[in-house]
Amino acid sequence: MSESGLTSDIPDEIKRRWSISSAFFLADTASSMVHRVGLTDGSSAILKRLTPRGLGELPGMTFLEWRQGQGAVHLLQKDGTECLLEDAGDLTLRAYRLQHGEGAANEIICDILQRLHTSGGAPPVGLTTLDQHFRSLFARAETESDQRLREPLQYSAEITRELLARQQMIKPLHGDLHHDNIVTGGSRGWLAIDPQGLVGDPAYDVANIFGNPLNALPDIIDPQRIRRLCDIFSETLDCSREKILRYAIAHAGASICWSLEDDGSVLNESENALERLAFLTVARGLLSDLSP
């Protein structure tokens, strides 16, 4: 494909504003359009343009601006719903895990966590609270008609309410940390990308790790892996293993709801929802083993 073809869907005004000389298409999702772009100074960056459905990601830009590159990519420029981001590379932690194993991947996750949670000064205004973040779960738990989901979602919602009422060490969170949102290949090593920009208990920031990486369902529902992650993250975040697992269960319930909303589908048509339900079923059976 020619260079003009690669850049044809980027408005000329954006090219001029940020001195974009070339571009390569990366993704077109419901929430954003993403390109890797070359700049006239010879450097590369990531151009991300949010769609109307992606406005919920604006707090993520606020989070990146606040982090100033600590543990996450730099936000280089921002104009409304468009931003220019540091190009952190294209090797994902998911691909790295396939070659080097779960243990090596978990070490990287813990290092990223410690860097992300290092104080960056006064928290910014405009982040999403966990109460707001879980609204879909609370709503669907009250109205779900599918009997396979109604009780698990109600169980997950109850745990979530208990957790949110007892939050500790509240701080800005990435909010969507998983193996495809940790990348390397640039000069600064492993970095987090695509944050949600939340504020709440740090234990929530590892909740999505339990349901990842993609295409690893046997690992995701493996009780030994679940216990091992609880051990690792409770030490890294200095909280109980039970709390870590409870947040993972809360997230699994919410993820089921988001998946069904995004797909406009029923349970049998959503692979992600089925996987999260399978994890929730196994994880709730392990809670009593982790209670103090």
Catalytic residue among 41, 90, 131, 176: 176
**Is position 176 annotated as part of the catalytic site?**
yes
Write a three-state SS string for the chain.
CCHHHHHCCCCHHHHHHCCEEEEEEEEECCCEEEEEEEECCCCEEEEEEECHHHHHHHHHHHHHHHHCCCCECCEEEEECCEEEEECCCCEEHHHHHHHHCHHHHHHHHHHHHHHHCCCCCCCCCCCEEHHHHCHHHHHHHHHCCCHHHHHHHHHHHHHHHHHHCCCCCCEEECCCCCCCCEEECCCCCCEECCCCCEEECHHHHHHHHHHCCCCCHHHHCCHHHHHHHHHHHHHHHCCCHHHHHHHHHHHHHHHHHHHHHHHCCCHHHCHHHHHHHHHHHHHHHHHHHHCC
Catalytically active residues, by annotation: 176
